[in-house]
Amino acid sequence: MKKEFVVRSIDAAPDGAPYVVVSLSSIKDLKEGGTQNPQSPFGSPKVMGFTNMNDMMKDLNKMLSGMGGGMGMQGNVTQLKLEMHEYKEMGLSVGDKVFLDITKAESLGV
């Protein structure tokens, strides 16, 4: 099975180890989201306005939980852990189109 993705983000290892975490979004999910700008595979940015501190705290909680479309955890994300030499070899950057080819290993008499 071959699947098509777009690189959503590239983050350093949370424990400082020599690897990176690459987050991928499915092309299908991005198209269903109605992305209009081909330069930005994540759609247009959403700005949350507020007029007082109470509104700001309510909006901040929504954004962090992902309901406001902000920087919170987004659904439908595939993450890969790549060693530094693999990451450098591939030359990945945010917005790149990538393919994952998934195959099941054949078991021989086991």
pLDDT classification of 107: cutoffs 50, 70, 90: confident
pLDDT classification of 44: cutoffs 50, 70, 90: very low
Q: What is the residue-averaged pLDDT of the chain?
A: 74
Q: What is the CATH number of the domain that holds 84?
A: 2.40.50
Per DSSP (E only), the strands in 1-110 are 2-12, 19-26, 77-83, 97-101
Residue 91 belongs to some domain of the structure: yes
**What's the number of domains the chain is made of?**
1
Q: Between 54 and 20, whose confidence is greater? A: 20
- pLDDT reading at 43 higher than 60: no
Range of the structural domain that residue 42 is part of = 2-49+75-101
Residue 95 belongs to some domain of the structure: yes
User: What is the CB-side half-sphere exposure of residue 84 using CA atoms within 13 A?
Assistant: 6
Residue 26 belongs to some domain of the structure: yes
